[in-house]
Amino acid sequence: MNNTISSASSPKIYTYNLEGQRVSVALESNPFDFDPQTLFSLAARKNKKRGFLFVSNVLGKHVPVDPFVPLLAGFALAVQFMSKIHNINHVDTHAIIQALKKNEDTRKVYESVITKSRFALPQETLFIGFAETATGLGHAVFSVFDNAHYLHTTREEIPLLPVELDFSEDHSHAVNHRCYPIDPELFRNPKTIVLVDDEITTGNTALNIIRAIHLKFPKTNYVVLSLLDWRTREERDNYKKLEQQLDIEIDTISLLEGEIEVSGQPFCEQMGQSNLVSETDFPEGFPLNQEQKFLNIQDVISVFSIDSRGNSSLSPYLRLTGRFGLSSREDREILPLAKRIAESLKRDRAGGKTLCLGTGEFMYLPMLISAYMGNGIRYHTTTRSPIYPFPKAQYGIQNGFAYNCPDNESITNYVYNIPLNYYDEVYLFLEREVSPEGLKSLFNVFHKIGIPRLVLVISSSSRAVHD
């Protein structure tokens, strides 16, 4: 599956065979000497524009992880930003990197960083995380800084709020990104914009948002942070051209950097049978031992949303996600809140092997809560990304389950890499309350996986608006 070629005069080459498509990765920059498999594996994805996907092993998206690991991945990018842009080396840089490499002492290192004074940026800075995969990563980066704000893009449609920014991710399964900052000054005031994504292949998404920002809120400095950067020489030249065209500076910072070469034909379902399971592949209506926990967090945005069928939801969104903008001062409230919720849920646990599952863009708060729920926790998130699963060594997606999105049944969602009959219980974190009918499809998936106990952790509901 994975071959390595190296020499003293050339970059290391890693080759991945994805059921007919071959992806070769030539590593050109690896400042912390990561073993690539620490950070990623590859998988074939269901996308005509790009038939492969880098599956992060440190993001908490497609692969279950120790929840402190994606928090530390954000810290790793933050300390690189401090070093490269502000010439300040963080005292815990080595410890952060070693914790990621060895998957050891993760909580100790996280708390060592987060209990120190935040790094006070010399200029007000806006960090933007890309939905849906990097909403948690962007927030983790932002949490290290003072004099900063955070906003993540969203695929949600919120008709009562103005769209301040709209741009596209051309190769994605869901191309439209929107920004709904409650305070429009969020874009006007900062002199520096920091874009955070898990992986850059062409870099076009970052260029698209920079153009969109510059059209309405011209800036002089942009920084693009990513765990992985695979742009070609030509694609890097596109950044230089845009710098000259707009008279701006664009810095790029990553943990691994190189180029990829793709050959062969992408896998498609006509060529073979994958083990992606749909909820329609098994009977509906199985009884499930499920419970509900209503958190009713008060810091909410009370606006309704509309799904593709015209159905509206009155359940409020959480302000603390960053979807509508968040200041460094407001962010200080999140960790104490997460710890209080975690202590309550920890007392409720009934098993030693517990999966905490975030949903879609709702990544950071569930990640932080699950980190303090005790031993035996694994965390990751559902996704919109359609990926082909194969139970093969070193392949990124071992199994997968498709289901209807609970709050928009016209959208198919997926959950990956959950071993059958393995977990004692699942805590499913929902940002907003959804109807029992909307959860039926997902409930059937959990039955198929063999989950004996399901706890729905609902962060906000319409009853919070009326109480």
- Give the pLDDT mean for 116-145: 96
pLDDT value at 302 more than 70:
no
Question: Which of 109-118, 167-176, 397-406, 430-439 is predicted least confidently?
Answer: 167-176
**Whole-number average pLDDT of the chain:** 88
Phi (first) and psi of residue 341, to 5 degrees: -65, -40
Q: Among 345, 353, 341, 347, which Cα is nearest to 451's?
A: 353
pLDDT at residue 304 in the model: 62
Label residue 434 by pLDDT band (50, 70, 90).
confident
Taking the C-alpha atoms of residue 214 and residue 55, their distance in angstroms, rounded to an integer, is 31
Task: Look at residue 395 and tell me whether its pLDDT is greater than 90.
Answer: yes
Is pLDDT above 70 for 280? no
Is the pLDDT assigned to residue 165 strictly greater than 60?
yes
| Mean pLDDT, residues 127-138 taken together | 96
Same fold for the domain at 68-256 and the one at 271-466?
A: yes
For the chain, state the CA radius of gyration: 21
What percent of the chain is predicted at pLDDT more than 70?
Answer: 88
Residues 53-82 have a mean pLDDT of 98
Class of domain 68-256: alpha beta
Q: In what order do the strands lie in the sheet with 400-405?
A: 276-278, 400-405, 408-416
Note the pLDDT of residue 267.
84
Comparing 433 with 288, the larger pLDDT belongs to 433
Q: What percent of the chain has pLDDT over 90?
A: 70
pTM for this structure?
0.92
Residue 260: name the closest of 60, 11, 47, 457 by CA. 11
Q: Which of 120-129, 298-307, 337-346, 373-382 has the lowest mean pLDDT?
A: 298-307
Between 300 and 116, the higher pLDDT residue? 116
- pLDDT above 70 (res 278): no
Q: Which residues pair with 152 in a beta bridge?
A: 129
Contacts of 350 by beta carbon, 8 Å cutoff, 6+ apart = 424, 425, 453
CB 113 within 8 A of CB 288: no
Q: Strand 312-313 to strand 305-306: parallel, antiparallel, or no bridges (unpaired)?
A: antiparallel
* Those residues with Cβ within 8 angstroms of residue 196's Cβ, 6 or more apart along the chain or in another chain: 77, 127, 128, 129, 130, 134, 137, 138, 141, 142, 225, 226
Q: Does pLDDT of 5 surpass 50?
A: no
Name every residue whose Cβ is closer than 8 Å to that of residue 134 and which is 6 or more positions away in sequence. 59, 152, 196, 197, 198
Indicate the pLDDT class of residue 437, thresholds 50, 70 and 90.
Answer: confident
Q: Which two tokens stand for residue 28?
A: 């050109």
Considering the domain 271-466 in this protein, what is its CATH number?
A: 3.40.50
What value does the mean pLDDT take over residues 145-168? 87
For the chain, which residues make up each domain, given as ranges? 2-56, 68-256, 271-466
Q: Which of 171-185, 217-231, 357-371 has the lowest mean pLDDT?
A: 171-185
Q: How far is CA 170 from CA 175, 203, 206, in A?
A: 6, 10, 11
Q: Is the pLDDT of residue 301 over 90?
A: no
